[in-house]
A and B are shown apart, each in its own frame.
Chain A
Amino acid sequence: MDILLQQIINGLVLGSVYALVALGYTMVYGIINLINFAHGEVLMVGALTSWTVITLLTDVALPGWLKLLISLVAAVVVCAVLNFLIEKIAYRPLRNAPRLAPLITAMGMSLLLQTLAMIIWKPNYKPYPILLPSEPFNIGGAVINTTQILILVATAVTLAGLMWLVNRTKLGRAMRATAENPRVAALMGVKPDMVISATFVIGAALAALAGVMYAANYGSVQHTMGFLPGLKAFTAAVFGGIGNLAGAVVGGVLLGLIEALGAGYIGTLTGGVLGSNYQDIFAFIVLILVLTVRPQGLLGERIADRA
């Protein structure tokens, strides 16, 4: 029982990170129908930026949580600027190009950011300092530490904020209108370019938050760390129905749970034939199964012809 609870906690923590990143994918996809392959790299830049800031602050006498907060703010700012520039340089000129063209620039951007990060930060793994009290709390036989609690809380708060932004504010209305039909939205006085930039900035902020969380939870940062969470988060977005915000969250959390439970139980289920080293493919197997049965994703709308 305690193993089950423990894996559920781990899955929720992992799922929160996926959900935050998946939101960035799904918002961008909802508005300009583009898989932003560079999104995972934004997460990586966020994590590495926060690592740099924390390293710079090593000798400053500040409480750990404050350092983490400062580094988070720095990461959010850097990522927001970065994603804004990515959109402006690599995607905006290709708005009316064949559909594969921006996809290739997105892959190019991803590779470029990874390489630049490797040049700037060197390729070694860097330990991410522990800034929050690490004594675990005991809940019914399972343990959870402060970082993990904070991840869950921060995710919940961020999601609530995002829902409010999208459903209640003027910007959110403009975003939904642009996603529905950019041309008509433009006729109604919405500036699509501005809305798209805002979407990228918001997505980047979420990714930066996710990156800092991921680093704080796993305790190390490196230039390739964005790849797998990025891929899984995209899977989560598709799983939940791409373009759908609630879907991204549901998909992310479910994916996290499936991975954690799968990794925890696959060994016993298969009598030790398959081990937890297969963890990374659960996401894809689930995805394939779901899409075969329900091609539009869990919460996605049926779109007849979106090639």
Chain B
Amino acid sequence: MLNPDPDLTPGVVLEPWLGGQVRCYPDRVRTIVEALDRAVRQFPDTVALETPEGDVTYAEMADLVEGAAERLTEEGLAPGDRVAVCLRNGLDIVVAIWAAARAGLVFVGLSTRLAPTQWAYMLSHSGASLALGGAEFIDGLRAAGAEAGLPADRVREVGDHLTGRRRPWKGDAVAFPDEDRTYGVIYTSGTTGRPKASQVVHRGTMHSATAYVRTLALTPGDRTAIVFPLYYVTGHVAQVTPMMLVGGTSVTVAEVVPREFVRLIGERRITYLMVVPSIWPLLLRDPAFRWPDLAHVEIGAFGGSPVPISTVAALRGRMPQLRLYDAYGLTETHSPATILLDSEFRRKPGSVGRPLPCAETRVVDDDGHDVPVGQPGELWLRGPMVTSGYYGDPAATAAAITDGWLHTGDYARVDDEGYVFILDRKKDMITRGGHKIYSVELEYLLVSHPDIAEAAVFGVADRLAFESVAAYVVPAAGRRVDNTDVQAWVAGRMADYAVPRHVRVVEAIPRNRTGKIDKRALRETMELELNSARTRR
């Protein structure tokens, strides 16, 4: 269903993007560089970042960014070049993102959870000419660099590369980048066995950040704790940049240890929490996570997977002052496309809300035709938040985006009031915690094992993490393989959260009458078996 006529949506104007006309906020700040410049002028002495490495004001952050941009340029990097970073949340990675944008470079976010061979693919695919890693990742990053053919001296421990030099912020004396420029690439799991590099564009980030400021009603006094890894979109699009727009403060958290995190929320007077749904039950386990001790926490946002109604009820009971928001979006939409507001949870349970003012939705059938209102189909999204494409992969871009519409791969229905309900994932994606795992990518890896002939990977329900990874595998003729072999094969090659928890070695994978693997049936069978075992326990 197309949204109402754009003229009926206040505060947006139509602008060209991806070959079509999309709804844009005319009064937006155009780039993340301009957002920093504006913050330097409006709130120079406000603390921008509280990190393990120390606190910095917006004026200090800008000077660090200017210094880092200068140093990256001295490394021989020219506009458009890629610089890869493998860093935990902290000062370095924030400076890296903004310095890359300031120098016209492209930051390549490497997940710290991945295996070196996965980093190697990303270094090679992106053509990164410099890679910087934290001390704890540098050995693996060097191995990845060698595998990718990157000269050894172009893989560095981050040290003081990004924060060792300060230069006075030059403001607009250095030309700001065009808002349609790509300043980052973030790898998402791919349906073809290889991750795809979604391009991060100023236009997308700034529309999403603006949407967060307005929807969540963020104010200058707000303070947010960033637990989302900053090498993904959410941390810098939903938190650092909105805080920059309002003059708030971002507190970086390198790792979530529930009790320590609750203590940090209190000590740092956090007002805005943005977490994956699996974090809430952990916080609720701590008796200290309660009103009035944490009365300053006013905003509780989440996304990535549904939150059980029981968790929402528990939050309402323990933290009645919280305004809850459920955001739906993808890496390819620079975070949110729809948001369910606090007042809508009771009326529209299970919905991910309505499209943001700058977003449009369609629900289509397999031929790309709109289905009647309320009927299920694939959700398509259009707006300035949609990525300009996948880096170095025009075929994947053409398949995913047509006439400005992003094919999300998610099955959904939209009711007659415009509320979106996600029903299933067409792309066969598994969500574990906040992490996405494409079953096809894992299946490719499994069948690359010399003793495995066939594999089917799917998600099964998990009470905390939303889903666990499950796999059926068929041994190659005359070969043997067991659960331990399967897990060990994946463990060294993909992130730990992608290792199948539930493995079944079978002679043949069950198929439906048309010969296709019916993963829904596999999932139901596995869940029945697991529930039966747990009941016996």
Partners in one complex: no
A contacts, CB < 8 Å to B: none
